[in-house]
Amino acid sequence: MTKQHKLLVFNLFLLTFVLGTSEFVIVGLLTEVSAGLNIAISTAGALVSVFAISFAVSTPILTAVFSRFSKYPLMLALIGVFVAANMITALSESYILLVASRVITAIVTGVLIALAMTVASETVPSDKRGPVISIIFTGFTIASVIGVPIGTYIGQWGGWHLAFWFTAGLGIVSLIASSATIPKGLKGTKSSLQKQIGLLTNTRIMIAFCIPALSIGATYTVYTYLTPLLEEVLFVPDRYISLVFLLYGVVSVFSTLIGGKIAIRNGIGKLRYVFLIQAAILMSLYVSSNSIVAALISVSFIALVVYIMNSTIQLYFIDLAEKHFPSAKDLASSLTPVSINVGIAFGSALGGFVTTNNELIDVSWVGGIVSIAASLLTFISYNIDRKAMP
């Protein structure tokens, strides 16, 4: 890759880091928001759900609408809206205004992610797309490991409003970097909204959409309840729980990078077996829960496979769109993060059902079953691709 390519990739990594920090930092500040606005902690927690729902619903629609515009001015305008929305969040003194600002942030976040993936796939050499997409996805992972703890510390030290002044400041840095690195010649694709939405009715796209939703759902069936698992099953002292989450975050960075290597060639074929390995790892927690050391090894391996599918699935969506819906590549780029958000919601709900009706540790084998379902769908996609080959 040229120096310009490397600067672009670094900027897109920075952009996803900023977007991820803004999205997830609220989780560490729910107590402060609850106290500051005099609302119940559950009401503050609804901000997380509002963000995820707004992201999932608006991203494919607005990505399709905006695809006709040139990438450079569009991305700069959306980053500007992102900065303004975070400033409104920082100034919010009412819950309604806070909700509105988070909805706006979620909407532009989803579209910016899709555009970042499209810009990368259209700009870098084809043999570098897998590693580059994995680097861009790593921005989210690094956000959870570094950005969110820093933002949480700032919010706990100076008030939750200050945390969003921090994310707004990061957005300004990203805006400046984007203005210098995003290619100005990337034109939009003129196409009717009806033709683009047609992508979503394609059987192969729908099967592919369910694959990351099931894989991430399998993990979040367990991950959502990791804290009570550590406390009530493994009897880990409270002071060490944050360290376990730090371990999880650090290991998950390698998951994204490994995923980039897998995506280089025949990624879908490899994922058929990766998901079976994921199922075995999730189920291993049921057996290893009698030993803290063994259970922490299981948790580390859960983190190691959680994001392996990202780069492959992202490129798979783009490649399918290029073959069958060339005017809907931007929309195709939005489907991976949307699917992941759907999977998070599904996995959390499934984990809640299991913990309500069964033993807490049963989330491990239930998550494993969901991962097997992801593997079966991947086998189906792989076989369809082979039959379609000339």
State the pLDDT at residue 156: 81
The mean pLDDT value for 368-382 works out to 95
Q: Give the mean pLDDT of 301-320.
A: 87
Give the pLDDT confidence score for residue 25 in this predicted structure: 83
182 phi and psi angles, rounded to 5 deg: -70, 130
Most confident range (mean pLDDT) of 120-134, 135-149, 372-386 is: 372-386
242 is written with which tokens? 């944050």
Q: Is the per-residue pLDDT at 192 higher than 60?
A: no
Tell which CATH architecture fits domain 3-188.
Up-down Bundle (1.20)
- Is it the case that residue 237 has pLDDT exceeding 90? no
Q: List the structure tokens of 304.
A: 């190691």
CB 204 within 8 A of CB 320: yes
User: Predicted confidence band at 272 (pLDDT cuts at 50, 70, 90)?
Assistant: very high
Q: Please state the pTM of the whole predicted model.
A: 0.76
End-to-end CA distance of the chain: 32
Q: What is the mean pLDDT of the chain?
A: 86
**Domain segments of the chain as ranges:** 3-188, 195-388
What does each C-alpha distance from 66 to 28, 62, 208 come to in angstroms? 33, 6, 23
- The length of the chain, given as a count of residues: 390
Q: With cut-offs at 50, 70 and 90, classify the pLDDT of residue 207.
A: very high
| 24, 138, 294 from 174: Cα distances, Å | 18, 16, 41
pLDDT the model gives residue 155: 85
Q: How confident is the model at residue 185 (pLDDT cuts 50, 70, 90)?
A: confident
Tokens of 263: 């995506």
In CATH, the number for domain 195-388 is 1.20.1250.20
Minimal CA–CA distance to 331: which of 199, 137, 191?
Answer: 199
Percentage of residues of the chain with pLDDT beyond 90: 35
**264 contacts 131 by C-beta, under 8 angstroms:** yes
Equal fold, 3-188 vs 195-388: yes
Tokens (6 digits) for 246: 């730090």
Share of the chain above pLDDT 70, in %: 95
Whether 333 has a pLDDT exceeding 70, the answer reads yes
Max mean pLDDT range (28-32, 34-38, 185-189, 341-345): 34-38
- Select the more confidently predicted residue: 177 or 341: 177
- DSSP for 316-364 reads HHHHHHHHH-GGGHHHHHHHHHHHHHHHHHHHHHHHHHHHHHS-GGGHH
Task: Decide if pLDDT at 352 tops 90.
Answer: no
Q: Judge whether residue 250 has pLDDT over 80.
A: yes
Specify the pLDDT at position 345.
78
Mean pLDDT for 192-213 is 79
Instruction: Tell me what pLDDT residue 167 has.
Output: 95
- Res 17: pLDDT: 94
Q: Which two tokens stand for residue 219?
A: 């993990």
**Pair 163, 152: CB distance under 8 Å:** yes
Q: What is the pLDDT of residues 279-305, one digit of tens each?
A: 999 999 999 999 999 999 999 999 999
